[in-house]
Structure 1
């Protein structure tokens, strides 16, 4: 059995993770942006490893994220205790309806809109990263960029700490493969009205390198 598989969205995140590994056997692969491509690519990597007789011990979805300002600060590390498909569902005059409340047969929902992190893997990383904030990480297809949409997310997910674009897709791939999963993020910007100039990607990537030491 090989070590962890760490998947990121973009090469810059993969490079930041690799910089903290110092020759570790952890495999780091940038798989693309968004839950669909990240999930498909992760499933392919897991299938190839299993077919080769060297299945991965666990999967980590890692990278930068936006954080809810009252929960985390820019540069903080976040561990997702569950990954949530925050916009998977339907709009209605009464508000957003999560997919598991639409009356579909359970067998059509697969993993459902929430995938919990593997308890043992999460506990190991919590021990290695005692200052990390632990909580739900939302997966969105459209990055939140207004005060109204930020407030809507807060109402639907009051305990969420961050949002990103890949975690849920990677979590579903790991769940179907029977491989432990967890999400690790570092915060580059507060969630809210879009202000690209205020993003501190350099700080978040440096924090990701520091946090990646825990993945050894």
Structure 2
């Protein structure tokens, strides 16, 4: 079996992860046996591309052992700082459902039949993989990471999301879909995010992309020794 598959949305995120793993390899402290691949922005692209990578590896007789969704994201103010690192206890499809006069109704409350292979609105992080990540990144905030198709950009939307998901620490656009692909392949899954901006009204002046990418490289450096071929 091959090791861990790390998927990111865009190439620059993949490059940040690879830089951290390369630093480990150069120091002789691990970093080998991890495949890093950008799979596209948004749930559709990320889920489809991850599923394809997993299927191709399995067909070649070298299936992956686990899947990690990694990249940058927005953090809930007061719950995680810009530049901080987040580990998902679970990844939720936050906008999968229906609007109503009484507010948002999540998919699992609409009476739709949901299968047991990631067909609901959330994917729990694998406890063993999450425990490994937490041990390597003890300062990381741990909580729900929301997957959205549209980045939250107003104070009202931020407030409503925070009320619906009181344990949410961040939002991004791929984690849940990657988790579904991993779950349907029978593989452990986890999600890691570093925070580039506070969730809320769009203010590019408050975005810290460079710091978030640096934090992503630092996280990969810390994870290199524990995420080798054993995963």
Do they fold alike, i.e. is TM over 0.5?
yes
Shift in alpha-carbon separation, 1:210–1:110, aligned structure 2, 3 A = closer
C-alpha separation in 2, matches of 1:52 and 1:147? 48
| Runs (5+) with no aligned partner, structure 2 | 26-31, 225-231
SS state of the match for residue 7, structure 1?
strand
Give me the TM-score of the superposition, normalised by structure 1: 0.97
Shift in alpha-carbon separation, 1:192–1:26, aligned structure 2, 3 A = same
C-alpha separation in 1, matches of 2:131 and 2:42? 27
Please provide the CA RMSD for this pair: 1.2
1:202 maps to: 210
Deviation per CA, 1:113-171, whole angstroms, max 9, x where unpaired? 01000000000010000000000000000000000000010111011000000001100
Would you say the 8 A contact 2:155–2:200 is kept in 1?
yes
2:16 maps to: 16
Deviation per CA, 1:35-78, whole angstroms, max 9, x where unpaired? 11000000000001111111111100000000001110011110
Would you say the 8 A contact 2:117–2:184 is kept in 1?
no
Shift of 1:3: 1.0
Please point out which of 39, 52, 72 is paired with 2:47: 39
C-alpha separation in 2, matches of 1:7 and 1:107? 25
Is 1:211 matched with 2:222? no
Shift in alpha-carbon separation, 1:109–1:62, aligned structure 2, 3 A = closer
Would you say the 8 A contact 1:100–1:109 is kept in 2?
no
**Residues 82-93 of structure 1 aligned to structure 2 (within 5 Å):** 82-93=90-101
Is 1:114 matched with 2:122? yes
1:7 maps to: 7
**Residues 82-161 of structure 1 aligned to structure 2 (within 5 Å):** 82-107=90-115, 110-161=118-169
SS state of the match for residue 106, structure 1?
coil
